Amino acid sequence: MTTLFPPALKPGSTIGFYSPSSPATHFAPKRTQRAIDYLEAKGYRIEPGALTGQADHYRAGSIQARADELNSLIRNPDIDCIMSTIGGANSNSLLPYIDYDAIRKQPKVFVGYSDVTAILLAIYQQTGLTTFYGPALTASFGELPPFVDDTYQAFETVTRAHRIPLTLPNPEQWTEQFLPWEEQTQAKQGRDNSQTFHGQGKVKGRLIGGNLNTMTAIWGSPYMPEIRDGDVLLIEDSLKDIATVERLFAFLKLNGVFDRVSAVLLGKHELFKDGDTGRTPMDVLREVLNGQPVPIVEDFDCSHTHPMLTLPIGAQVTVDFDQQAIRLLDCSVSDDS
């Protein structure tokens, strides 16, 4: 499969947003508007999806309505970037109805995270187009400074024309503090940031992965890319209890994933529920690996926490454990200017 790269975003590019699962524009209209205002102030044009402000109980609309909203943005020649508003639990329902032919004919920047992993991986698998595990409109750009600024800078750097190799930043602070979205008026409390490199030397491979819980919902389908020898695997999750995390890590082991990947990027787990064990997700992963020597970057900042880095799915990366650096080797967007 030939890897495709979407046109780079520029000042004045148009971002269309959609709600493939949870109805964030309905239950968090203030935060959504704050996100729109923020991106417009950065010079983008914003195009709302057809389901903006709507809800069908737990979702933004029926499966067909959500697919139609997404396809309308895909087929719109004036849209340069398609960004989800939030995740949820049901993005995988849309996969058979996405217009992949239109995506091949007119590639765009597709970005989101969490449950939208299903759509990002499906587009990559069906078309070869690099997609971006990164911020969502309401969830990410509705956040307040300083964290929203770090998230934006990472997004802009990766989705605009840039030199390679590109070393990913390590944010100075991070947060997982929960504040009610429609009531938040102040910045969240930050904590000193760190990520730990468990390994030696340097590995190179294709970046693949996303939200692990969502990946299990498309595993074995035509929409899930095969994990190949040498891949660098990104996995992250949110609000899970330790028993569920053990089950998910064991799922990867039973499917031979840890036998194939060259490294794992283990994202920060937002508000992890350790069951009073005092153990971390890294502790659980070590137990599941049972001594298997898999290089791991622990507490990577591409997850549900703030700020969030932006990663190109399908691009080549290096993980340098000696220099404690992660570098993008592909420019992941095409620059025709």
The answer to whether residues 214 and 288 belong to one domain is yes
Cβ atoms within 10 Å of 239's Cβ, excluding its own: 14
Of all residues in the chain, what percent carry a pLDDT higher than 90? 98
pLDDT band at 336 (very low <50, low <70, confident <90, very high): low
My answer on whether 20 and 81 are in the same domain is yes
Q: 147 and 19 in one domain?
A: yes
Percent of the chain with pLDDT over 70: 99
Domain match, 180 and 323 both: yes
**Beta carbons of 27 and 129 less than 8 angstroms apart:** no
In the chain, the number of structural domains is 2
Domain boundary among 142, 166, 190: 166
Active-site residue list: 114, 236, 304
Answer yes or no: do 86 and 42 share one domain.
Answer: yes
Same domain, 150 and 202: no
Same domain? 95 vs 206: no
Does residue 200 lie within any of the structural domains?
yes
Report yes or no on 231 lying in a domain: yes
pLDDT digits (tens, 9 = 90+) for 196-253: 999 999 999 999 999 999 999 999 999 999 999 999 999 999 999 999 999 999 999 9
Instruction: Determine contact, residues 175/189, Cβ cutoff 8 Å.
Output: yes
pLDDT tens-digit map of 87-140: 999 999 999 999 999 999 999 999 999 999 999 999 999 999 999 999 999 999
CATH of the domain at 19: 3.40.50.10740
Domain that holds residue 289: 173-328
- Here the CATH number for the domain that contains residue 282 is 3.50.30.60
Say how many C-beta atoms besides its own lie within 10 A of residue 120's C-beta.
27
Q: Do residues 208 and 110 share a domain?
A: no
Flag whether 9 is in a domain: no
Check whether 337 has a pLDDT greater than 70.
Answer: no
4 inside domain:
no
Q: What is the pTM of this model?
A: 0.98
